[in-house]
Amino acid sequence: MWLPWFITNKVIASVDSAEDKLKRPANFIEIFVEMKRLYTIPIKTVFEIAAVMTSIAREDWIRTNDTGSLWTTRK
């Protein structure tokens, strides 16, 4: 899926921000809530953020655990 840079950068920043607050990797819902708190971007549902994050993960910008339930940008 082609995504503009302003969406991918804000999603990645939201992943980092959620992880900093929780002190652990975050799930889709926690990242979605953090993104909505920080930014106004055209992602309206948790399902859309899941699609965006899966697309970003294919490009190796974010990482997930074995079950795909927790997400991080850190090793």
Please state the pTM of the whole predicted model.
0.87
Q: Is the pLDDT of residue 18 over 90?
A: yes
- Cα(22)–Cα(37) distance, integer angstroms: 15
- Cα(56)–Cα(53) distance, integer angstroms: 5
pLDDT at 75: 81
Q: What crossing angle do the helices spanning 5-22 and 46-58 adopt, rounded to 10°?
A: 100
pLDDT at 1: 65
pLDDT at 26: 95
Evaluate whether 65 touches 56 at the Cβ level (below 8 Å).
no
| pLDDT digits 0-9 by tens, 20-66 | 999 999 999 999 999 999 998 888 999 998 899 999 898 889 999 99
Domain segments of the chain as ranges: 5-66+68-72
pLDDT at 27: 94
> Is the sign of the CA dihedral 30, 70, 9, 45 positive or negative?
negative
Q: What crossing angle do the helices spanning 46-58 and 28-38 adopt, rounded to 10°?
A: 100
